[in-house]
């Protein structure tokens, strides 16, 4: 049995120290505009490394944030998240509001205690989920009425409610309620929606209690919407800047539009955002998208790809994706990725994991998820390291060459 180790290896084989500082500021600190610090800028792209200070510790960026929608990263324990190098996890206000409910999480002493996770938590407002999962949606200026996808119960949430709920969770990073319009949409639809989203952003900021909770209040980000219309995106960014947030999210991308269009929108939008605030690209994504977005100056990412694809037998390696149900792995006694330090790769062979998927065994999705999470977290760790030693572009080229070497379509 190989020994567990906390040392993690980058994609180029260098050992990275696992140490992440926990400089927790005193309770009641409001974490205003000074929560983020850029550490190093890439001389050839707009990529940068930085540190985001939260009530539960510092987050070094660029960072990949595992998604724990229902207060759990699917199939994975907290210890495994730590082993994989996770600095922060995501959860979802819509889901947690419906189940187990705001009150229970408060009684538990906040979301960190409820899920026994002591590092930072970012909660999405759940706007995206309200508009994609629930039914009978009625949008008013005051908020949104919807029917729960779980039990059909009716609810009405205002932007103020959504901030209050996240503050009662003790989230370190909060998202305001926003309207999520489907892709593609007419410009006039997006334009109308942008007005509402801006109003809600303003109300959200006003509703946020400054340092009056046990948790210091958390960092409320603004979310830039605007569909695939660069002018609407730019206007949305400028309007949010006027309101002034300690960080900015870019929402409404990776919802079915072509990759090139997403890159173009990023390219038009990011220069509008201030250098000294963190930028979070919501729901993205695939390795090539992550490289492109980092090169344009994005700092934070979340995506369900590592866990969802893992459960569906797709694993990521430095030489591309592997579809683990494939017959080519029946007699493949190598680990998924021989350079990967995760428990899955230290312990089990492709042939064994293929057998588990084939036999519909629970352990299969779990082992694949753990590996994929390690892959994505390390990928962003390696990007950060490459930025800091002025090798980002080279690292990107090397990675892409190797990742695409088998000629598969990876996106």
Looking at residues 53 to 72 of the shown chain, list those that interact with a second copy (rule: CB under 8 A): 70-72
The interface region with a second copy, picked from 75-83, 228-236, 237-245, 246-254 by CB under 8 A, is: 75-83
How far is C-alpha 179 from the geometric centre of its chain's CA atoms?
A: 19
Contact 92, 165 (CB under 8 A): no
The interface region with a second copy, picked from 32-40, 121-129, 235-243, 351-359 by CB under 8 A, is: 351-359
Q: Is 356 in the site for a second copy (CB under 8 A)?
A: yes
Q: Which residues pair with 259 in a beta bridge?
A: none
Cβ proximity to a second copy: between 95 and 233 the closer is: 95
Q: Is 352 in the site for a second copy (CB under 8 A)?
A: yes
In angstroms, what is the minimal distance from the CB of 72 to a second copy?
A: 5
**Which of 405, 408, 403, 322 is closest to 368 using CA atoms?**
322
Query: What is the pairing mode between strands 248-250 and 121-124?
Result: unpaired
In the DSSP assignment, the letter for residue 2 is: P
Three-state SS for 191-255 is: HHHHHHHHHHHHHHHHHCCCCCCCCCCCEECEEECCCCCHHHHHHHHHHHHHHCCCCEEECCCCC
Cβ proximity to a second copy: between 81 and 219 the closer is: 81
Pattern of binders to a second copy over 95-114, x per CB under 8 A? ----xx---x--xx-----x
Contact 60, 21 (CB under 8 A): no
**Catalytic residue ranges:** 124, 302
Q: Is 4 in the site for a second copy (CB under 8 A)?
A: yes
* Euclidean distance between CA atoms 326 and 297, whole angstroms: 37
In angstroms, what is the minimal distance from the CB of 368 to a second copy?
A: 12
Cβ proximity to a second copy: between 258 and 333 the closer is: 333
Q: Is 86 in the site for a second copy (CB under 8 A)?
A: no
Dihedral sign (CA 393, 397, 403, 404): positive
In the DSSP assignment, the letter for residue 390 is: T
* Euclidean distance between CA atoms 352 and 356, whole angstroms: 6
Q: Is 7 in the site for a second copy (CB under 8 A)?
A: no
Contact 38, 298 (CB under 8 A): no
Is 349 in a helix, a strand, or coil? Answer: coil
Cβ proximity to a second copy: between 70 and 185 the closer is: 70
Residue appearing with tokens 């800091």: 388
**Is cis: bond before 321, omega within 30 of 0?**
no
Contact 55, 216 (CB under 8 A): yes
Q: Is 171 in the site for a second copy (CB under 8 A)?
A: no
Query: Which of 55, 67, 115, 266: binder of a second copy (CB under 8 A)?
Result: 115
Pattern of binders to a second copy over 302-341, x per CB under 8 A? ----------------------------xx-x--------
In angstroms, what is the minimal distance from the CB of 93 to a second copy?
A: 15
In angstroms, what is the minimal distance from the CB of 122 to a second copy?
A: 19
Q: Is 343 in the site for a second copy (CB under 8 A)?
A: yes
**Which of 188, 184, 217, 202 is closest to 31 using CA atoms?**
217
Cβ proximity to a second copy: between 29 and 70 the closer is: 70
Size of the site for a second copy (CB under 8 A): 40
Is 30 in a helix, a strand, or coil? Answer: coil
Query: Which of 358, 388, 400, 404: binder of a second copy (CB under 8 A)?
Result: 358
In this structure, the dihedral spanned by the alpha carbons of residues 142, 144, 145 and 146, taken in order and rounded to 10 degrees, is: -170
Q: What size, in residues, is the chain?
A: 411
Cβ proximity to a second copy: between 356 and 387 the closer is: 356
Q: Is 133 in the site for a second copy (CB under 8 A)?
A: no
In angstroms, what is the minimal distance from the CB of 155 to a second copy?
A: 17
In angstroms, what is the minimal distance from the CB of 364 to a second copy?
A: 8
Which parts of this chain interact with a second copy (CB under 8 A)? Answer: 1, 4, 70-72, 74-79, 82, 99-100, 104, 107-108, 114-116, 118, 330-331, 333, 343, 347-349, 351-352, 355-356, 358-359, 361-363, 365-367
């Amino acid at each position: 049995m190989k020994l567990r180790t906390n040392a993690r290896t980058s994609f180029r084989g260098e050992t990275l120290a696992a140490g992440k500082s926990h400089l927790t500021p005193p309770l009641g600190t409001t974490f205003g505009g000074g929560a983020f610090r850029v550490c190093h800028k890439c001389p050839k792209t707009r990529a940068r490394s930085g540190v985001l200070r939260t009530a539960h510790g510092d987050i070094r960026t660029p960072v990949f944030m595992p998604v724990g929608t229902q207060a759990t990263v699917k199939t994975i324990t907290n210890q495994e998240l730590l082993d994989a190098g996770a600095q922060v996890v995501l959860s979802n206000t819509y889901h947690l509001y419906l189940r187990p409910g705001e009150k229970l999480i408060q009684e538990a002493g906040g979301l960190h205690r409820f899920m026994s996770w002591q590092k930072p938590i970012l909660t999405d407002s759940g706007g995206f989920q309200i508009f994609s999962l629930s039914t009978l949606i009625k949008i008013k200026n005051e908020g949104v009425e919807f029917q729960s996808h779980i039990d059909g119960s009716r609810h009405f949430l205002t932007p103020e409610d959504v901030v209050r709920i996240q503050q009662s969770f003790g989230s370190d990073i909060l998202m305001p309620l926003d309207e999520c319009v489907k892709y593609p949409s007419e410009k006039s639809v997006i334009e109308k929606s942008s007005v509402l989203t801006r109003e809600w952003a303003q109300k959200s900021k006003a509703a946020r209690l400054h340092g009056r909770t046990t948790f210091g209040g958390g960092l409320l980000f603004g979310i830039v919407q605007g569909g695939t219309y660069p002018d609407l995106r730019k206007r949305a960014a400028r309007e949010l800047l006027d309101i002034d947030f300690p960080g900015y999210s870019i929402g409404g991308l990776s919802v079915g539009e072509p990759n090139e269009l997403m890159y173009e929108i990023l390219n038009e939008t990011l220069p509008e955002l201030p250098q000294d605030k963190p930028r979070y690209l919501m729901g993205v994504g695939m390795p090539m998208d992550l490289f492109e977005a980092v090169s344009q100056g994005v700092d934070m990412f979340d995506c369900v790809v590592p866990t969802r694809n893992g459960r569906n037998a797709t694993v990521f390696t430095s030489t591309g994706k592997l579809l683990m149900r494939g017959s080519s792995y029946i007699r493949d006694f190598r680990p998924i990725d021989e350079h990967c330090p995760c428990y899955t790769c230290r312990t089990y062979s492709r042939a064994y994991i293929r057998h588990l998927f084939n036999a519909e065994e629970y352990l299969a999705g779990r082992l694949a998820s753990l590996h994929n999470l390690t892959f994505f977290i390390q990928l962003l760790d390696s990007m950060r390291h490459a930025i800091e030693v002025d090798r980002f572009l080279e690292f990107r080229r090397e990675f892409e060459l190797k990742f695409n070497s088998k000629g598969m379509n990876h996106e």
